[in-house]
Amino acid sequence: MTDSAPTLETGNATEAGASSRGWFVGDLAAWATSRGEALHRSSTPRQSADVQVKWFVHPPGHARQAWADPDGCFSLGVVVDGDMHFAFRAHDGSERTIHLMQRGDYVIWHGPSYHHSWRTEGGCTFLTVRWSAFRR
């Protein structure tokens, strides 16, 4: 038996991300460790320290309760179906809101520059991809 990650995996994004708030590609081993669980880094090709992918089905009226602090990632969010409202607050206090309403509508932002929040009126399926904003 080898200690290398599988090179092919199939599944459902909702099921794969059930234990990690929808994140199904990324540093899943670190996520598990932060919750006192274990995941061997070589157990899935979805394990990545370079990119994170989240598939989340938001129910109608779902909202982030507080502003998310700036982080070290670029983020790309894409509406698969439904609607999503985003609010961004820059370090200087200026705010901008964006309403994504059609399949394929997206927003991309530099995480170190903004606090953000979101809400959906009618519910939605949303895909988020994150990667480091800093060169290695």
SS3 18: coil
SS3 8: coil
50, 129 Cβ separation under 8 angstroms: no
The dihedral built from the CA positions of residue 115, 21, 58 and 109, taken in this order, carries a sign that is: positive
Read off the pLDDT of each residue in 122-133 and give the average, rounded to a whole number: 94
Dihedral class, residue 43 (left if φ above 0, else alpha if ψ from -120 to 50, else beta): alpha
Mean pLDDT score of the chain: 87
Percent of the chain with pLDDT over 70: 91
Read off the pLDDT of each residue in 86-98 and give the average, rounded to a whole number: 94
Range in 2-16, 72-86, 89-103 the model is least confident about: 2-16
pLDDT for 1: 42
Distance CA 48, CA 98 (A): 29
> pTM to 2 decimals?
0.79
pLDDT for 45: 81
Chain centre to alpha carbon of residue 34: 17
- The two structure tokens encoding residue 134: 């800093």
CATH hierarchy code of domain 51-136: 2.60.120.10
Provide the residue ranges of all domains of the chain, joining segments of one domain with +: 13-49, 51-136
105: confidence class by pLDDT, cuts 50, 70, 90? very high
